[in-house]
Every structure is written in C-alpha cells, then in structure tokens.
Structure 1
C-alpha cells in the first residue's frame, strides 16, 4: 500500500459542524481565549476547530503558517461561533513562546491552554539520535512548561485557567523503540499533576491519553512500519496498533478535540491533575 493509499484509508476525515461536541458553558464565548499548540494539523487543528465551535477565540500556535491559515479558513467555512487566529511560533524558542502567549492574551481573556504539538522518532535505545530526543523534549515537555509558566499570570488575572496536556497511552504503558516519546509523555503527566498541586483549585490541569488516532502523521508512517515488520498495512493496523485494544478502530482527531472541549468546561471542574484515558481498553485490560 502506498502512502497515498494509506492516507485515503487511515487518514483523518474532514471535520464538520456535526462532529463538534457543543457544551453549555457561560465561559465558552468569543471574549475568552484558548491557546492551542500544533493547531496547523492533526489533533491540534481538530481541537482548535472544536473549541471555536463552542464559541471561543482560539490562538492557534504552530510553525506551519500555511497550515494555520487553512485551519482559520476551515473555521470560517464552517461558520463557527468562535474563530481561529493564527499565531506562528517556534516552540523550541523561549522568546517565541512568551510572544505567543502575549499575542493570545491580546485577543481576550486567556483562560485555556491546550498543549498538543508533538512529533515522533522511532529507534532502539542503543541507536536513538540524541538530537531527536532533545527536539522532542523541547517541543513536547519543555514548551508545555514554558507556556504554562507564561500563561499563569494571565490565568490569575482572569481568575481561573485550565491547562490540558495531550498525553498518550504511552504515558501509561510503553512500547519499544519510542524511548523519547514514552519519556516525554510520562513527564507531561507529572506537569499536569504539578499544575493541580499549585493551582489551588482556580487553575486546573488535566491530561488526555488516547491510543492511535487517524492523523496524517500516523497514516504516512504506516507503509514503512508495515515493511519493517513484514506485514501489510492492514495487518499492521489490525495486529500491531489495534491488537491490544477492545475497540477495533482508531479515533478521529475531532473525537480527541471533543475531549478537550469537555475537559476545559465547567462540567469537568473536579478533573484536576487527572487523566482522561480513551485508549479503547489498551492499557486497562488484558487477555
């Protein structure tokens, strides 16, 4: 199966208004701002659209300016009650992170932060490229801390704030050849709990842990992953990715975005330091 065929079969569906979970919350209005990283594509883009679909102004942060513009245009095409404002930024640059938070705060009251941007490198520990580990750590663990640090005064000024961190089933259980990914995802759960410990109830933190999601990044990796195992792409999905789950299909990005909608809302006021595990039973059951 070619990359194009894998994308057609296992890539994400285009999000529609009907896909967006709409939650009644008086704080879900255009005057309140959610900063979403990785907003140019994948789960970040879907989360940005789902939050805009609930009336929030979304500061979409990514290095991919073209992708951010496409996300903004999609929100406009769907005639969402909120909007996406592109905020290009390099999450490996501390000054750029601070500027992104300040730009988000200029759009309204900054109340929500979704740390979603991520990347992957697959290699055994003995051969793992340290520069890739450093990059993954900078984007997926250091940046969420710096973003939280920069947003904290704005949360205090607003009177409340919520940080949602995109974790993973690999923040609970690990698989081989993903040492950097496993490490940073476990670290994100520590950050989440630290936010809860210091937020005194007015600033909450939660994480979201899913199994495999139908993103372009995952779909594009499937042919190489299948070849390395001597399997077809379909066999790789069925045996490797979904072999240990009870739900035998991957999640759509908008389904993950809807978890952030729920987690940020007033209906999740007691979700503080905890993890929203939606992995199809992968980490919680066995045969």
Structure 2
C-alpha cells in the first residue's frame, strides 16, 4: 500500500477550492476515467483515496504527482472490490486515514463479451461482483457517516448500457441496469438526509484501452482506424466522437457542487446523443 500526503488548502493562486477538506474515494482510479475523476476532485481540494490495478512503483509516482500538482493528500488503497469484506475495509481505512468519507465515486468496472449461451458463469459472477455488488457494499458503508454529518455525494459511473442493451454484453448490461436501480433507491432513502446519489452514463470514452481496441479491430477487420471508429464503435453515437475522460470527470465534479444539491436519483447521459434514439 502506498500513501503520499500533502497539506490541503488553497490552490496555487490562493483561491479557496469548492471541495477543500472533503474526503473522496474513487474506485478504479489508477487509469482512464477514474484517474481523470480523481485528478479533477483533487484539483478542487478533495482528499483523495484512489483504488485500482497497476504497478506499485507507477502508482506511487501517480500519487506523488497528483498530490504535488494539487497540494492535497492522495492515498492509494489496493482493496479487491470483488470481495465484500475488502470493500468495507477500504472505507474503514480511508476514514481512519483522512476522516469520514463524504464523496464516493463508484467507477470500477470490468467487461467480457460473449453470447449468452456461451457466457462463462465465472465471468458473469466476476462482472456482477465488481460492477454492481461493490457499489452496494461501498454505499452501505459510507452512508452512516454521511447521514450523521448531513452531507454526502455518491456518484455511480454507470454507462449508456445502464439505459439500453447491446448484444453479447449480458453481464455488463445487467450490472449497469442494476446500478441505475440502486442509484434511485439510494437517492430516495437519503432524500431528506442531505445526501445525493446520481449515476453518470457515458457512451464511448477515449482511453488508452479504447485506443488499443481501435487498433486491434482495424487489423482484425482489414479496415482503417477511422472506419472502426465511425462504423463500428460510434455507429450508434450521433456526434461521432468519443467523449474525453475529463468530460466525465467534469460531470462528476458538478454533481459534487452546491449547484447540484437538488439533483438526486438522476441518470445523466454523457453519450453524444446515443440514448436519444
């Protein structure tokens, strides 16, 4: 486990930041969308706990970089989110290190693509554990302190596939639909407690993983990378461009802001019009 700490406070210009002193857990945050979210929340002054997979030395460098850049504490926790007990320990360790968790961003997710009749049961179980059950376990653990403090923000990074279906993604679609349902229930139960819970539903987002998929599909299908993007990956996305991880992070940060205090139980699409069909 790596822990890199700096003192929180003002930004480099001396301006107070909107999330100063708020303790935030962002799961699946050692790369891609989760890392962009952690970076944006740190920029706004939050004390950050990142979680995810990766090389230990690289993660230590990442923590130091985020902390130095934004002058806020950053901590890494290697909890295995497929295990309920590990999720509970993640929340407990975060609270002991920084104080009660006030912002929870459930971003971690895995994917596997296969027809239903060929879908390996162990893959189904793994996807449901990471993509759905971990969201429940983390939410359950942070709510008591949030309720006591009268303030909390839970943002579940779902997907356009939490709102619509696609072939060959049975476990992923089922899990993300479940996340949307859990988001609504959490919002209703916490409506008078000063706690909001919302889902952000990205379409295709440009990340290193997607970049690799584009190259691989271009080779596999014998077409250009541009054709893969427009005719395969973005065929259902009207604006024909990938969202950026920073756009998703900006949406999450907005949902943590005072301006979003009355937004709860919502599923916010950031999908270039995909689900507008």
Same fold judged by TM-score > 0.5? yes
* RMSD over aligned Cα atoms: 1.9
Choose between structure 1 and 2 for higher RCO, CA contacts under 8 A separated by at least 6 residues: 1
The structural deviation recorded for 1:76 is 3.3
Q: What residue number does 1:90 align with?
A: 80
Quick one: distance in 2 between partners of 1:114 and 1:211?
18
Q: Match of 2:273? A: 281
**Could you say which residue in structure 2 is the equivalent of 1:47?**
37
Matched, 1:131 2:112: no
Show structure 2 runs of 5+ residues with no match. Answer: 1-14
- Flag structure 1 segments of 5+ consecutive residues without an equivalent: 1-23
Distance (whole Å) between structure 2 residues aligned to residue 227 and residue 175 of structure 1: 23
Match of 2:200 among 196, 208, 212: 208
Distance in 2, matches of 1:33 and 1:266, equals 16
Separation in structure 2 between the aligned mates of residue 139 and residue 50 of structure 1, nearest angstrom: 23
CA deviation digits over 1:28-85, x for unaligned, max 9? 11x22011000111111110111001000011122436354243133135x2143321
**1:168-187 matched pairs, under 5 angstroms:** 168-187=159-178
TM-score, structure 1 length as denominator? 0.85
CA contact (8 A) 1:49 1:71 kept: no
Q: In the alignment, is the contact (CA less than 8 A) between 1:162 and 1:203 conserved in 2?
A: yes
**Is residue 156 from structure 1 mapped to residue 147 from structure 2 by the alignment?**
yes
**Would the aligned equivalents of 1:223 and 1:233 in 2 still touch at CA under 8 Å?**
yes
**Alpha carbons 2:17, 2:44 under 8 Å: kept:** no
Does the Cα contact within 8 Å between 1:39 and 1:71 map onto a contact in 2? no
Q: Secondary structure at the match of 1:141?
A: helix
- Once the two structures are TM-superposed, the CA of residue 129 in structure 1 deviates from its matched residue by 1.3
* Count of paired positions: 260
Whether 1:258 and 2:238 are equivalent positions in the alignment is: no
